[in-house]
Amino acid sequence: MRRRGDYLDTGFVVWPSNQGWFWSINKSTASGGAIGAAATEAQAVLEARASIEEMYARRSRFMRASTAALGAIDWERMLVNLERHLTDLAHGTA
């Protein structure tokens, strides 16, 4: 019998096999997921949760790196260039 769970707003499923338990995570919003096997149902649930935490940690590191890259952009210079370009368009000189 399959048992569904939810952890950190991510669903997972555990189910028995002949020699243990399987677990899976389908993270459709991130186009990914994970699957694994464990000896007991409790271990399957713990492993699924640990995998979800790892997915969130990777996403968090990516978001911090992306934010740092955005911070390095010279926004003031870009806005001045945009203003100049829009002025040129308005005067028909672009």
The answer to whether 27 touches 9, Cβ cutoff 8 Å, is no
Per residue in 50-76, pLDDT (tens digit) is: 999 988 888 777 777 777 677 767 778
Measured in whole angstroms, the distance separating CA 58 from the mean position of its chain's CA atoms is: 7
Measured in whole angstroms, the distance separating CA 73 from the mean position of its chain's CA atoms is: 24
Which tokens hold the place of 35? 């699957």
Give the up-direction half-sphere exposure of residue 16: CA atoms within 13 A in the CB hemisphere: 5
First and final C-alpha spacing in the chain: 67
Per residue in 8-65, pLDDT (tens digit) is: 888 999 999 999 999 999 776 555 788 999 999 999 999 999 999 988 888 777 777 7
